[in-house]
Amino acid sequence: MVTSAALWRYASDYLPSFLQRAAKADTPAPPEVILSMHGSNTTGAQLAGSLAEAFLKRGGAQAVTTVPDAHADEYSVVATPPGDNRPKAIEIQAHGSATAFTDAAAGKADI
């Protein structure tokens, strides 16, 4: 016979972990950054985003979106390639040409 105390203890032990797992399942995985482009604010304003979008589309991605960052000169171009369930992102930081060299030297940027 199951007592109400035993049932309550089971529910109070099981329910929190169940809810945590359910919350994690509903949270989409953050995009995987596959390329970081840092440098010129002139190039970064439009050309870098257009190149990133064309690159992702050439790889077969259909829904390509531009996602602004908290900083005015930073954004990501995001898409999910076919056959992959995790979105990929190309990060663009357009703070000026000098930042390209310092960020590349520090390992913060690919291009």
Q: pLDDT at residue 4 above 70?
A: no
So what's the pLDDT on residue 21?
63
Q: Where are the domains of the chain?
A: 32-105
- For 48-96, the pLDDT digits (tens) are 999 999 999 999 998 899 999 988 899 999 999 998 889 999 999 999 9
Give every CB contact of residue 73 below 8 A, 6+ residues apart in sequence. 41, 44, 93, 94, 95
Residue ranges of E strands in 1-111: 32-38, 65-68, 74-79, 88-93
Burial category of 85 from C-beta neighbours within 10 Å (exposed 0-12, middle 13-18, buried 19 and up): exposed
Cα–Cα distance, 1 to 52 (Å, whole number): 64
So what's the pLDDT on residue 87?
94
So what's the pLDDT on residue 5?
64
Give the global pTM. Answer: 0.72
DSSP, collapsed to helix, strand or coil, labels residue 79 as strand
Picking from 19, 90, 10, 103, the residue whose alpha carbon sits closest to that of residue 50 is 90
- For 10-26, the pLDDT digits (tens) are 656 766 666 666 555 56
